[in-house]
Chains A and B, each alone.
Chain A
Amino acid sequence: MARSLAAGGGLGTRRMNAIKRALIYIIVTFLAAVILVPFFWMLSTALQEKGDIFAWPPQWIPDPPQWRNFAEAWTAMPFNRYLGNTIFVVVLGITAELASATIVAYGFARFRFPGSDLIFLILLATMMLPFHVTLIPTFLIWQHFGLVGEFDPLVLRAWTAWGPFYIFLLRQFFLTIPRELDDAAEIDGANTLQTFFLIMLPQIRPALLAVAIFAFRGYWNDFLGPLIYLTDMKLYTMNVGMYFFMGGVNEAPQWNYLMAMSIIIALPVVLLFFVAQRYFIEGITFTGLKD
């Protein structure tokens, strides 16, 4: 406000600014509505009686709201078990991912050795590699070890820091820590491990949280991995369960149940987003910009 007054001054510009401001409000509100209407529609369908779903014109407010749709959809398949499996995969995946990505990122940020720049360049290039091109040989590797049908293909690999994006993000954070800090620690007689755990880790807490959030989203949303590796119905994750819950090609989907389940699947990620929005956005910003 102060800036616009200083720059414009006259009454004309001030009125222009008021009009501009109003216009921005109208556009911003309209687009927010465009985003929120599908969400509302999702909830509305989830609460409808089977017979009302195909009403024309569509019913916006379900009357009465069928809250039991959620319970019925949840028990239509062993989703309790699927949720347990998903949590298992998510926890193991995030833990391994965080630990390994942090160590590797520390290596790239603080140590130089012959070929380190080239290796880092290759790491960045792997971000552009389409996942499907390595899919089949990777499947054959796991088959060779007899681990297709187990959770292993989904979680063991996380130990090798296979999210180049996470390494990149953490490395950028490490680089912001002044070198004097490690030098001081070294002079005080700390070894590499002590410097890493006592000096560096506490400094990059926001980045660790950002990676944890991204990894959570990644594992929670993963569909292709569980689809090809989990052959036993008892080991399905939520997303694979959903795929079969959706029904065959010729079956008419039960939209109220599917929307109820979609809400349930979306809820953890959305809640996490609300709680940790700052880290989430900080993470995206950091990798999107700095060199």
Chain B
Amino acid sequence: MENHLATLFRWLLVPVALAVIAFLIYHLFRWFGWKKKQAMGLALVSPWIVGFLIFTLYPLGDSLYLSFTKSSIFGKTEWVGLDNYIKLFTLDIEFWPSVRITLLYALFSLPIGVIGALLIAMLLNNQIKGIGTFRTIYFLPAVLPEVAVALLWRWMFNSESGILNYILSPFFKLFGMGKPNWFGDPDFILPAFIIMSVWGIFGTNTVVFLAGLQGVPRSLYEAAEIDGASGFRKFLHITVPQISPVILLQIVMGMIGALQIFTIAMFVRPSTAAGKFMNQLVYERGFTQMHMGEASAIAWVLFLIILVLTLLVFRSSPAWVHYESDMKR
């Protein structure tokens, strides 16, 4: 209870401090000659700016700095130049397997997630009786806590008496193989995670796509129907271009999410023989082995991977993303 009260007290002080900062910023910029409304705007957004400087910008720079040092939580930091990176790329036996499994997971789960969610959304976009109930069921996986999802799937994938091996056992018999030990066998870990990611096509992505589909003007389809376009052609030439901004958003956010997989992997606890996901490696190196420098280097490699891939997707977007405003121009 003591800890709670102490935290509560400090928690109450923070908004006071932020209000004072906002007040000072307002008067400072008024003094610089800003208009009332301008200074007010800056003052209103100042809490975010303060948070950004302390908890995003500074840590970003500091983690880059730490990645060039040898440091632990308690000890001193010592500049070692590129040593951490060189060690990771050449000596570290855990690094490349980790990059490999993280990228492969994203590579497979992303298209499944985006295309799957789009198909599900198209299905739910049909006006049939009881569709409301179905939508509720389809969105359920999205609200389930990751902890519960991970444990549920770990249990379903259980090699001894998991439901998945039970359902699939006729197939296994057909091919003359035994029950796979999904999360224990290095060959099956990636497939198991990919199967698990299919669960993610129900939920948030589906809701966003559904909203996108409902925003496509009816008149476009009607015009195409008069021209005698088939269902597939309508999908390809009307639906896809119309919702391409949504697809872009889903690809970017889905990719970032997939590359950052952490909680699920921690609870599923797969055999480490196939490699740990990169974020798991960051956590382990930083917080259980206390190698803050190495952990920061891994985090920066992951950050750069995400940055490069995101930029590539955005660079490609003018070729296939269609914005309504372009047409008006």
User: A residues within 8 Å of B by Cβ?
Assistant: 7, 21, 24-25, 27-28, 31-32, 35-39, 41-42, 45, 53-58, 85, 88, 92, 96, 99-100, 103-104, 106-108, 110-114, 116, 119, 122-123, 126, 128-141, 143, 150-152, 155-157, 159-162, 167, 192, 217, 220-221, 223-224, 228, 232, 234-235, 239, 242-243, 246, 249, 253, 255, 258-259, 262-263, 265-266, 269-270, 272-274, 277, 280-281, 284-285, 288-289
Contact = CB atoms under 8 A, between A and B. Distances in A.
B155 A100 contact: no
A129 B56 contact: yes
A58 to B, nearest CB: 5
Nearest to A95: B11
Interface stretch (B84-92, B106-114, B255-263): B255-263
Contacts of A234: 3
A155 B158 CA distance: 37
Nearest to B60: A134
Contacts of B296: 136-137
Interface residues of B, number: 101
The 5 closest A-B pairs by CB, nearest first: A160-B51, A111-B41, A107-B44, A288-B208, A137-B59
B62 A137 contact: yes
Contact of A24 (B42, B123, B211, B279): B123
Contacts of A160: 18, 47-48, 50-52, 54-55
A130 B156 contact: no
Given A107-B45, A133-B303, A223-B147, A284 B208 contact: yes
Contact of A135 (B10, B51, B286): B286
Interface string B217-261: 000001001000000000000000000001001001000100110
18 contacts: A28-B131, A35-B140, A41-B155, A58-B161, A99-B15, A116-B41, A130-B260, A137-B66, A140-B73, A143-B73, A150-B3, A242-B147, A255-B158, A259-B151, A259-B152, A277-B139, A285-B210, A285-B211
A155 B11 contact: yes
Contacts of A288: 207-208, 211-212, 246, 249
Interface of B: 3-4, 6-8, 10-11, 14-15, 18, 34, 37-45, 47-52, 54-56, 58-60, 62-63, 66, 73, 120, 123-124, 126, 128, 131, 134, 136-141, 143-148, 151-156, 158, 160-161, 163, 166, 202, 204, 207-208, 210-212, 215, 222, 225, 246, 249, 252, 256, 259-260, 262-263, 266-267, 269, 279, 282-283, 286-287, 292, 295-296, 299-300, 302-303, 306, 310
Contacts of B120: 31
Contacts of A25: 128
Nearest to A274: B136
B166 A150 contact: no
B161 to A, nearest CB: 5
Q: Is the interface of A mostly helix, strand, loop or mixed?
A: helix
Central interface residue in A28, A42, A143, A255, by most chain B CB within 10 Å: A28
Given A116-B42, A132-B302, A159-B47, 9 more contacts: A54-B160, A85-B4, A111-B42, A130-B259, A132-B260, A135-B59, A137-B62, A224-B262, A259-B155
B145 A266 contact: yes
Contacts of B215: 289
A152 B137 contact: no
Contact of B48 (A32, A111, A167): A167
B78 to A, nearest CB: 15
Contacts of B246: 288-289
A21 B302 CA distance: 46
A192 B63 contact: no
A35 B138 CA distance: 7
B263 A284 contact: no
Contacts of B152: 38, 41-42, 259, 262
Nearest to B166: A58
A191 to B, nearest CB: 10
Given A150-B3, A167-B48, A35 B286 contact: no
B71 to A, nearest CB: 9
Contacts of B48: 100, 104, 123, 160-162, 167
Nearest to B163: A41
Nearest to A232: B3
A266 to B, nearest CB: 4
Given A135-B282, A289-B208, A106 B44 contact: yes
B1 to A, nearest CB: 9
Contact of A126 (B52, B160, B204): B52
